[in-house]
Amino acid sequence: MKDQILSYWDMCDTEGVQMLQRGMNFRLNVNYSVILMSQRSNAPYADRIHDDGITIEYEGHDILKTGPDIDPKTIDQPVKTKSGSITQNGLFVQAVEQFKANSHEPEIIRVYEKILPGIWSEKGFFRLIDYQYINDGNRNVFRFILEETEVEFADREFKENALKPRSRVIPTSVKKTVWERDEGKCVMCGATDELHFDHDLPYSKGGTSISSDNVKILCARHNLSKSDKIE
């Protein structure tokens, strides 16, 4: 997964929108959908990245709170609103059904993860391959299954990027620690833009356990000069 660090406004700029207010954005543009996820302890939904580092389980979204007596957290997540229009859950379900019926390629979804307030990490592009509608002990919720894909989006189209090494995911708790320790700056030059979380030993070269000791923040320039040395 990619781990580019972005501010909220960088993220909106990247997507060419003024604001991203919803977590689920089916076909935010003609090429792909966008989701915002969070594994923070106060996150509104139970999103998580599986231990394989390439699968995301993303919870569907609740009905809107339309009155003081309505608690959305006690109501089944719907595919349609009361007035009958399709919800974001419904659009994502439809995409999975069409993919399973072999009538469509899986929907491509760009994923951003909240690290801290105003600090986001771009996870790259995923395929929406499945969903479940399960009882979480309280009510029925959607769990959408996304799998990392080796594509990049450039010049308004998707390109296969077979050379991209599959990297192991850096846990969110580690990112939070590293971000605070490195004070949100490149440890080499102090730059505060185009930052990445950098893992000392790439997964492809035998890197295994990830802790804050072997993760640091680098700017794009220093990230690049480092990969030159490895080659």
- Shortest CB 195 distance to Zn ion, Å: 8
- Shortest CB 10 distance to Zn ion, Å: 17
Q: How far apart are CA 102 and CA 92, in angstroms?
A: 16
State which residue, 22 or 226, has the beta carbon closest to Zn ion.
226
Bridge partner list, 131: 144
The residue ranges that bind Zn ion (CB under 5 A) are 186, 188-189, 191, 219, 222
Q: Are 201 and 162 in contact (CB under 8 A)?
A: no
- Shortest CB 190 distance to Zn ion, Å: 7
Nearest C-alpha neighbor of 14 from the set 22, 1, 5, 23: 5
Structure tokens at 44: 């509104």
State which residue, 114 or 196, has the beta carbon closest to Zn ion.
196
- Shortest CB 220 distance to Zn ion, Å: 8
State which residue, 36 or 219, has the beta carbon closest to Zn ion.
219
State which residue, 161 or 225, has the beta carbon closest to Zn ion.
225
Task: Give Cα separations from 63 to 26, 66, 79, 93 (angstroms).
Answer: 16, 8, 10, 16
